[in-house]
Amino acid sequence: MFEKLFKLPSVLARHKSAPYAEERKRYLSHCAQQGYAHATLLVMAYELLWVARKLSVYPSLRVSLEQIKAAAKDWAQRERLCGHALNKRWTRARFIHVAKLWLRFLGCLHEPKEPIPFADLVTDFSTWLEHERGLSSTTIRSWRGYLRGFLCWYSDKMRPFAAVQIIDVDEFLAICGRRGCSRVSINNVATALRAFFRYARTKGWCASSIAQAIKGPRIYAQEGLPSGPSWDEVRHLLASMETNRPGDIRDRAIVMLFAVYGFRATEVAKLRLEDIDWRHDQIIMSRVKGRGSQVYPLSPTVGNAIVRYLREVRPQSSRREVFLTLAAPLRPISRAGLYSLTSRRMLKIGIHTPHRGPHSLRHACAAHLVSEGFSLKEIGDYLGHRSSSATRIYAKVDIEGLREVATFDLGGLI
């Protein structure tokens, strides 16, 4: 790797003879595979040289963050070689950042994790949810987060888990409310805790009456309207990305999948190259909640947008996910990244809806299908709903249909 970066024999010899040469070469090769530019790799090699010299006092390279910070001092030698004074604060911060990434890649950074209270209970419960209940990974991750929040709060009471009482759960839910959580969010926490304590009862971890006594705030069925942009705003959003900029080309294909097909963020993030059947003009979507795949016809407009992204924008990578980051390190776009780009795009053109993430475009897709006259059963099948109750709420956005019902003369029937 050094031979690809340096041409001068003296510079090449300096990097080869410095401590941990093989470890530095491995990391630089890894970064090159992640799509870092040649100029960036040169800077990284130079920074790694100083990191290796400073950490050469640790033969095994098994160091902690505190030891890295201790080594990030005394830059007199580097100032002499540079010929000018350094910004010591920036140099120190850069040293620590590069050292952490390098040692973490090598598996040498000692990062003691803060213990999770009652971690064995959380692990046992999560395994049961996956193998016995068959819940999706997204649901399990959310419930684990709610449960950890409660257990971390409860551990401050310095009591064993067997001593937990319903009053503790009620107090925690009240705290969630004071922190600004919505009724829906608090109800989700209550649902997760109810499932956990029901399982804990079967294991004999706690009193048997806790689960049935957990009550979240009342949530009225279909009490709200789906919040999302109008279909005209969706068209305006797509039109705003009809440029030759790489980011616009990629993001337009992503937004189309949300708005035209109503896909979820996780589903788009996990979409793989082999999931697009170009020969038969189809998309095979692995459903997050449906436990299976669903085949959709690939519309010419969406297909052309994806083809343009693949040909002109997508970086060369061994990753099979369709949508990748445009800057190094190359990696699949996360759910959070998809939310960020969708929200940013909507705000940029002045779309101010209560929700601006990918799910708001899913709502816009459903509302558009309602206005086009599709039945709720057809819409539910299209969106991949497992239950018709998940689709009923879209009946409330059919304003014209509701007006017809409101103006219907019942006089002849009474």
Question: 244 with 177, same domain?
Answer: no
Question: 87 with 131, same domain?
Answer: no
Q: Is the pLDDT of residue 146 over 70?
A: yes
SS3 sequence of the chain: CHHHHCCCHHHHHHHHHCCCHHHHHHHHHHHHHCCCCHHHHHHHHHHHHHHHHHHHHCCCCCEEHHHHHHHCCCCHHHHHHHCCCCCHHHHHHHHHHHHHHHHHHHCCEECCCCCCCCHHHHHHHHHHHHHHHCCCHHHHHHHHHHHHHHHHHHHCCCCCHHHCCHHHHHHHHHHHHHCCCCHHHHHHHHHHHHHHHHHHHHHCCCCCCHHHHCCCCCCCCCCCCCCCCCHHHHHHHHHCCCCCCHHHHHHHHHHHHHHHHCCCHHHHHCCEHHHEECCCCEEEEEECCCCEEEEEECCHHHHHHHHHHHHHCCCCCCCCECCECCCCCCCECCHHHHHHHHHHHHHHCCCCCCCCCHHHHHHHHHHHHHHCCCCHHHHHHHHCCCCCHHHHHHHHHCHHHHHHHHCCCCHHHC
Q: Is 261 a catalytic residue?
A: no
How many domains, in total, are found in the chain? 3
Q: Give 393's pLDDT tier (boundaries 50, 70, 90).
A: low
The answer, as to whether pTM is greater than 0.75, is no
Q: Is the pLDDT of residue 290 over 80?
A: no
Question: 294 with 344, same domain?
Answer: yes
Tell me what pLDDT residue 58 has. Answer: 84
Question: 271 with 183, same domain?
Answer: no
Question: 343 with 292, same domain?
Answer: yes
**Annotated catalytic residue within 20, 261, 296, 394:** 394
- Average pLDDT estimate for 118-147: 89
**Annotated catalytic residue within 289, 331, 355, 392:** 289
Question: 57 with 102, same domain?
Answer: yes
**Annotated catalytic residue within 264, 314, 345, 356:** 264
Question: 237 with 357, same domain?
Answer: yes
Question: 238 with 295, same domain?
Answer: yes
* pLDDT cut 70: percent of the chain above it: 90
Q: Is 368 a catalytic residue?
A: no
Q: Give 310's pLDDT tier (boundaries 50, 70, 90).
A: very high
Q: Give 48's pLDDT tier (boundaries 50, 70, 90).
A: very high
Q: Is 157 a catalytic residue?
A: no
Q: Is the pLDDT of residue 318 over 80?
A: yes
Q: Is 84 a catalytic residue?
A: no
Question: 237 with 361, same domain?
Answer: yes
Q: Is 363 a catalytic residue?
A: no
**Annotated catalytic residue within 15, 250, 356, 362:** 362
Question: 141 with 253, same domain?
Answer: no
Tell me what pLDDT residue 84 has. Answer: 79
Q: Is 359 a catalytic residue?
A: yes
Q: Is the pLDDT of residue 204 over 60?
A: yes
- Average pLDDT estimate for 357-366: 88
Q: For residue 106, give its domain range.
A: 2-110
Tell me what pLDDT residue 410 has. Answer: 45
* pLDDT cut 90: percent of the chain above it: 43
Question: 301 with 337, same domain?
Answer: yes
Domain's final residue, options 181, 213, 245: 213
